[in-house]
Structure 1
Amino acid sequence: MTAAPVLPTAFDPTDPVLNEEAIPLQEFLELRRTAPVHWVEQAPEARAGFLDTGFWAITKHADILAVSKNSKEFSANENGVIIRFGPDMTREQVELQGVMLVNQDPPDHTKLRQIISRGFTPRSINALHEVLIERANKIVDDALAKGAGDFVFEVAAELPLQAIAELLGVPQEDRRKLFDWSNQMLAYDDPEYNADPETAAAEILGYSMALAEQRKADPKDDIISKLVTAGEDGEGLTDDEFGFFVILLAVAGNETTRNAITHGMHAFFQNPEQWDTWKKERPSTMVDEVIRWATPVTVFQRTALNDVEISGQLIKKGERVALYYASGNHDEDVFADAGTFDIKRDPNPHLAFGGHGAHYCIGANLARLEVDVMFNVIADRMPNIKQAGEPRRLRHAWINGIKELPVKYS
């Protein structure tokens, strides 16, 4: 067995250059063994927008779960959930993001989540099933016609984008705008994109607010109308709340599912026996293993509201803690052979939807449906898909992203 590495003094698992190479799973293993609550001193350019000098890295599954469930002592709102912004991020900009659901604490979070949940009922998600199967088949038709290409752009990104457009009632021809805007908003660490996050956020806010105004004037049977008009509770989202919801959906519903599908396909390429198992048996456990393996969002943060202990380590009021889902999803105390991609893994209590508690991913069932539909259609329609080149990873602090995966479709 390979010995876990000795950690460098300045090891920072949010370093985007480090994550462009690979998620540092061996270093996480060493932290779980020796320092499950580990202080990380951030370089000045890495802590833009934050008032402190670093954070506590939480790497054990049990600790991540405990913090995720404890909204009374750990705040999502105090510093937001993003552990590392671009170097130009100001404190004022961090605080402005408090209007987003993911950055709120109860009772504001509870109230806003109740409204947004109107669009994510089991009935709403189940109603998409047949439509997504139809769309996945068309996506595969177009890919097969090309013969070879980039799996990320042509396959993995398409179904989440089309699902968001279908769910929102956004014209399908506008879905690429969502794709480009979300890339620009997130890719501030990757020089290839020459990203302009502020302009992209303004564009998506303007587009979303215009949609909200249209639906208020002429309601339709779609999620926008359900969210911006008064429901049984007598309240709907304001135009700006709806705009920030679309930003969240473009990121959480597009980037994350796209990367889950891409990492899943790459894992199948690396483990052809698992692909054979999937084609022959179609175990229902496949979806959660793909999501565990991918862990598209590797880390979110909370801020301590009081002095509190985690695994014997005192966390002082006001200090940030980083919940490393990518580490928790490889915790050997929870997952036997965690480094093995096993689509029959059961049970699979992964943390890729943000752990449990108030911030459990509101779109988890939609994400599961998209992954299930896409891999069923791929197995049915292009079972002999092959990798044609090495994946190119995204340079990012908290997204486990793949920018390109060359394949031969048939």
Structure 2
Amino acid sequence: MPFWDGRAANAADIRLYVPGAGWRAAVSMEGDTDDAPVPGSANAVGSVLLNILNATNLVVLTGTGSSFGVSNPQGRPTPAGMWDVWVAVRAAAGDAVFDAIVASFGAERVSENIEKLLTLCKLYLELHDGETSEPVLSMQAFVETAEQAILARVDFIDRESGLDAHDALIRKIGRRGVRKPRAKLFTTNYDLCFEEVARRSRFTLIDGFSHNLDQTYDRTHFDLDIVRREGHRENPDYVANVLQFYKLHGSIDWRRVEGDILRTRAQVGKPVLIYPRSSKYQESFDAPYLDMLSAFQAALREPDTALLISGFGFNDDHISSPIMSAIESNMSLRLAICDLAFIPDEQLVLGAHDLAGKAELPNRFLTRFRRLADSGDARVHLMNGRFQDLAAAMPDLIGETDRERHVQRMRAIQQGAAGPA
């Protein structure tokens, strides 16, 4: 059984990479009878995260891995990984149609990877652009079916979803002092995890959309902030619990209607999101994705900036390359990565105090970050753990506010009033 299956969120499951020693456990290890205990990495992890949160400019990046921290009631869809999307597309297209499309490219070439399959479909349609033959029309129909299936499969959030990890993260990064620039939260996910948890906790997300009846996207809205204006005060009072929020690949509730991008769950216009295929890089240079990506690149070049990454696999070059470029050019940039990619399960099961980890990491970016850490670059910190473990490990800069306690009391009263008499 894999090490992580059924494991609750626990800061003690995070291992910190210590150059020359390996991946160190959080808890201390008892020494021999005459030796002092071998210290764990929990204090060092806490220090790293505290330093990240106290940076002048805080940037957080999450990906698909963060969604696996969600729990849904039985019978509701679970968070979707790439294999889940593959299964959903097969079910929507039908086995015969799906197998025929895969066979047309070669099963070994596709290797049960939905991103490779959609990439090949896209290339085929570009090569046969303008043709109306039966194979071309069939391919177009399959791509449309696949995109609709993906959109439906990643729509798994509702009012009953368990979002404890997202709630912890958004509270801890949103409670920074209002004198500092707003924390910037970037995600490649299409789902509504952060939007739902912000609604529950009464946090405000500045996400580029207006506050009109038809919420409309405009890049200038990212330059706005929320303040409290009172007649007897000359200076504005910046409201707490506000974040800037960027969805780099779009969202399931964004629709393009007559040239505008609206936030709506109505089935109008066309969805605004980047589907999993190799053309993600080119598509990211269209609006609104270019606005989001430009904001990400600009944020990484600000002085005294900290970048915290969890649940992002560094498989998107249009996002990973700017991070590496910023590490090379911005000497004040601090980087902390928490991911499951560093240590195989079979090592974790052994439970040794220091583990060697994987000799070869999944991609070149993680390899380069580890080399930087090995070379003594004190700006780079690597941790092995899940998104929910990281959220549990992050320190609270400020305790629960009066407003947050008031919201919780009011919600408890309302839920009690709505229950059985």
Bin the TM-score by the shorter chain.
Answer: under 0.3
TM-score calculated relative to the size of structure 1:
0.26
Q: Would you tell me which structure has more helix in proportion to its own residues?
A: 1
Q: Would you tell me which structure has more strand in proportion to its own residues?
A: 2
TM-score calculated relative to the size of structure 2:
0.26
